Amino acid sequence: MNGTEKKPPIYLSVVIGSYNSSLALSKNLGILISWLKTKSVSWELIIVDDGSADKGETEKIAKKYNAIYLKNGQNLGKGSAIRKGMLNANGRFRLFTDADIPYEPEVIDQFLHYLDFKEFHMVVGDRTLDGASYFTKVGKIRSWASRLFSFIVGRFIAGGMFDTQCGIKGFRAEVAEDIFSVSRINRFAFDVETLYISLKRNYDIKRLPVKLRSQDGNTVNVAKTSLIMLTDIPRIIYYYYRGNYRKK
């Protein structure tokens, strides 16, 4: 499937952005697929290749698992990949996660419970909540940079949410289309932008603890990335007051 044509609405869309992550996908995607196949609801899996230089390996994996495959012509950033996947999805509920399927898939049941039956607009994973398990051990510089970023963003942008970067978030369809039709940040600060727009819309957001199951995709230099993301924060505020986030 190439994802160029819209299908009739289904229950759940899972979007995965991938940049040179064919190895992580190959190792972990089957776990997610096996779990999804136990569900009695309709679902689709969308893999968005963010300009990988892997000689078509990501596309081969998508075909192997009968996933919808989309591709950016060049590496634009995770935010761009997730945006494309969300706007091409057909699910009543739409969730994105990372190529290494970092969290136990059972948490998706809780996401859907709060999105569907509790009618929250958005559900986000939070590694700081009681009940979460996160086994990464980090150096002092990485820990300092991550804490600084989380404090600044949580205090001034994200309404007290201090784990903006948890790699699993879910939306009702109309909310996903609203947010991602106006979002503009292409790199890792897109998570912050997503929460900022949601809070400005007064959307109801539920935070849920998550349990880490994999770190295969954990190659990001957190210290460097956190400092780079801080430069995107003024842009988010600028876009808001310029009117770029108005509903379309």
49 pLDDT higher than 60: yes
5 pLDDT higher than 70: no
Domains identified in the chain, total number = 1
182 pLDDT higher than 70: yes
Q: What pLDDT sits at residue 227?
A: 67
Q: Does 42 fall in a domain?
A: yes
Instruction: Name the amino acid, one letter, at 34.
Output: S
Which pair of tokens denotes residue 146? Answer: 């991550």
* Domain CATH code at residue 158: 3.90.550.10
In angstroms, rounded to a whole number, what is the distance separating the alpha carbons of residues 142 and 102? 19
Q: For residue 191, what are the contacts with CB-CB under 8 A and spacing of at least 6?
A: 79, 164, 165, 166, 169
- Kindly report the average pLDDT of the chain as a whole number: 88
Compute how many other C-beta atoms are within 10 angstroms of the C-beta atom of residue 129: 13
The answer to whether the beta carbons of residues 125 and 114 sit under 8 Å apart is no
Q: Does 1 fall in a domain?
A: no
Q: What pLDDT sits at residue 47?
A: 98
Mean pLDDT of 151-178: 84
Q: What pLDDT sits at residue 145?
A: 59
At residue 18's C-alpha, the angle toward residues 217 and 239, to 5°, is 105
Name the pLDDT band for 147 (thresholds 50, 70, 90): low
Q: Does 4 fall in a domain?
A: no
Q: What pLDDT sits at residue 4?
A: 53
The answer to whether the beta carbons of residues 99 and 25 sit under 8 Å apart is yes
Q: Does 28 fall in a domain?
A: yes
Which pair of tokens denotes residue 62? Answer: 């998508």
The answer to whether the beta carbons of residues 45 and 67 sit under 8 Å apart is yes
In angstroms, rounded to a whole number, what is the distance separating the alpha carbons of residues 248 and 239? 15
Burial (Cβ within 10 Å: 0-12, 13-18, ≥19) of residue 3: buried
Residue found by looking up tokens 């979007």 in the block: 15
Q: Does 247 fall in a domain?
A: no
The answer to whether the beta carbons of residues 33 and 25 sit under 8 Å apart is no
Name the pLDDT band for 226 (thresholds 50, 70, 90): low
Residue range(s) defining the domain that contains residue 168: 10-242
